[in-house]
A = this chain, B = another copy of it.
Amino acid sequence: MHSATAILLISCPDQRGIVARLSNFVFERGGNIVDSDHHSDLQAGRFLGRIEWEYEGGPAEREQLRLDVAAVAGPMGGQWELHFSDAVPRIALWCSKQEHCLLDLLWRHQAGELGAEIAFILSNHEVLRRHVEPLGLPFHVLPITRENKAEQEARQLDLLRRERVDLVVLAKYMQVLSRDFLQAFPEVINIHHSFLPAFAGAQPYHQALARGVKLIGASAHFVTGDLDAGPIIEQDVIRVSHRDTVEDLVRKGRDMERLVLARAVRLHLHHRVLTYGNKTVVFE
């Protein structure tokens, strides 16, 4: 992808002519579509689409484009998002004591894989500070107790607003976010170290060993008020055997967690994920 692009994600009741209307819309504005992917869920009567075209307009034109999209997409009665590939999203990485997902995302960030700016790293513990500060990134520590949780979440929200953060990535952040927090800031991706819905909740590797499964997995999902029950973005599994102890499951699982979380974050940051009921459509 050499020039910048505009990306429209849309989900609306299915109806005749949507693709034509959207592609005409682009064509009339001189756009060259480089990628488009549309699907109708006939059972749900829902149209789901992603359209990406070369776009070089400046800020004022983008504002206008947004109004124009609203004018064409609004009457279709659904949800839509308009993104620009050169508008770099700002993300915050939240962690606790385990470093593998954090380090992996930091490395991918440096390698240019994510396509995002890291606004800050936040943790409820000090231990990972030493990995972050050498990179010149802010590291905020907000310890959480039962008593101070509401207060600390207010501070977190404040930070997110001040730093204009678009997405929070829970890179092994071991605190549950309250419903109030999520209502105020709903854009949160988490990695759960099991193949959901199996082994939701605590200690999935211990659960997996006890159940004797032959594959373990990891699941990246949007966070909702229901623990480990939000829309799944990406999942993967790895084979285990009777020789694997809990420590081996943890080690093998770390690789899955790193890969699955990174893929999910990258897909979302490239505007390839559309939420739809409690599910996602991933345009890849």
Contact = CB atoms under 8 A, between A and B. Distances in A.
A278 B1 CA distance: 23
A16 B38 contact: no
Contacts of A18: 33
Contacts of A41: 242
A284 interface: yes
Contacts of A122: none
A259 interface: yes
Interface residues of A, number: 74
Contact of A215 (B24, B48, B100, B236): B236
A42 B54 CA distance: 11
A258 to B, nearest CB: 9
Interface string A188-202: 000000011111000
Contacts of A58: none
Interface in A22-44: 22-24, 26-27, 30-43
A109 interface: no
A166 interface: no
Contacts of A68: none
A51 B23 CA distance: 13
A219 B138 CA distance: 38
Interface stretch (A76-84, A169-177, A227-235): A227-235
Interface stretch (A87-95, A154-162, A206-214): A206-214
Contacts of A215: 195, 217, 235-237
A280 interface: yes
Contact of A35 (B38, B231, B259): B38
Interface in A224-268: 231-237, 239, 241-243, 245, 251, 254-255, 259
Contacts of A27: 16-17, 19-21
Contacts of A99: 107, 111
A66 B174 CA distance: 48
B1 A30 contact: no
Nearest to A38: B36
B42 A16 contact: no
Nearest to A130: B134
Given A20-B24, A34-B39, A36-B36, 19 more contacts: A17-B27, A20-B20, A20-B26, A39-B243, A42-B245, A48-B242, A195-B215, A198-B198, A211-B278, A212-B278, A213-B232, A213-B235, A214-B232, A214-B235, A214-B282, A215-B217, A241-B282, A242-B281, A255-B259
